[in-house]
Amino acid sequence: MKHLIDPMDLSLEELDEVLELGEEIYEHPEKYADLAKGKKIATLFYEPSTRTRLSFESAMLDLGGNVIGFSSASDSSVSKGESVEDTVRTVGCFADVIAMRHPNEGAPKLASMMSPVPIINAGDGGHNHPTQTLTDLLTIRKEKGKLDHMTVGLCGDLKFGRTVHSLIKAMSRYHGVKFVLISPKELRVPEYIISDVIEPAGLSYEEVESLEDNIGKLDILYMTRVQRERFFNEADYVRLKDTYILDKKKMKMAKEDMIILHPLPRVNEISPSVDDDPRACYFRQVKYGKFVRMALICKLLGLVPWKQSEEE
């Protein structure tokens, strides 16, 4: 049984399969409308979510399956003191696959050790968010036609942003990727991302503070929200929250074909005046997210004859 806890849990080949299938479902959703008939996903969300939970639920519904779950810890037996392990052993009696979001780093991993069904990490604290990464990769593939040889700027809260950590891990596997890490000093990527991910991959990177000075060289700009809920004090959050605001003026300095991604929710970091710019991909990104989750569910449940043509 396979779980998806960290983006590196998928081999490059498996990752390509999921992205390819995501693209195929995007093109021909009707062919997949009954594939998961009789199957259930449980969404166990111990932390708030709009896109991720509804995207998983829509993905399963659009595959003809069903959905159970809870959207806050207070709605579940967690409020009575139940452990994550006991919860998944219970829910695993009802559902075929579980998507779990938890404020504690490592909670989905712990759950996967006890779970009778595949666990998908839908975000664990400031650590990882592998299905947002699948969403980001499918978006880049659809919008840029490739995943290699690009300069990727990640801007904002690179310290606590789990989507940033997972995306860097995944993109480090592609040739010729350069990272421009744009953040205030206090919100730089954790050291292990540099020493255990970017450097061993032999990729080039720079850590900078100015968005204006660097936007012109980017092929992709990945904007992020300052993660208020992970700050120790409100004063620091208030001081840092508006460090970067992408607006029309800054977009004039960007390449004509640069794409803007954002995992959403946005707070102030992208002015709504940028939304009409064809380079703004963040709402299209939400759409791609559902299709790639459909592909992932198919893969984890063994619903698609993978690489059928090669095996025949």
Interface residues with ligand NCD (CB under 6 A)? 51-52, 123, 129, 132, 162-163, 225, 263-264
- Report, in Å, the least distance between residue 158 CB and ligand NCD: 12
Least Å from the CB of residue 114 to ligand NCD: 24
CB of 53 to ligand NCD, least distance (A): 9
Structure tokens at 27: 């093109």
Q: Indicate the residue among 76 and 163 with the shorter CB distance to ligand NCD.
A: 163
For the CB of residue 34, give the shortest distance to ligand NCD in the complex, in Å.
28
Nearest-CB residue for ligand NCD: 263
| Closest CB to ligand NCD among residues 182, 203 | 182
Q: Which is nearer to ligand NCD, 43 or 163 (CB)?
A: 163
- Residue in 167, 56, 63 with CA at minimum distance from that of residue 119: 56
Q: Buried b vs exposed e over 300-309: b needs ≥16 C-beta within 10 Å?
A: bbebbeeeee
Let me know the angle formed at the C-alpha of 39 by 33 and 41, rounded to the nearest 5 degrees.
100
Amino acid occupying residue 308: Q
Least separation in angstroms between residue 242's CB and ligand NCD is 15
How are beta strands 151-155 and 178-182 bridged, if at all? Answer: parallel
Which is closer to ligand NCD, CB of 22 or CB of 92? 22
Nearest approach in angstroms of CB 258 to ligand NCD is 21
CB of 126 to ligand NCD, least distance (A): 9
Q: Of 3 and 162, which has the nearer Cβ to ligand NCD?
A: 162
Contact yes or no for 51/20 (Cβ under 8 A) = no
Q: Which is nearer to ligand NCD, 218 or 264 (CB)?
A: 264
Please provide the distance, in angstroms rounded to a whole number, between the alpha carbons at the two ends of the chain.
24
Buried b (16+ CB within 10 A) or exposed e, 224-238: bbbbeeebeeeeebe
- Of the pair 132, 139, the CB lying nearest ligand NCD is at 132
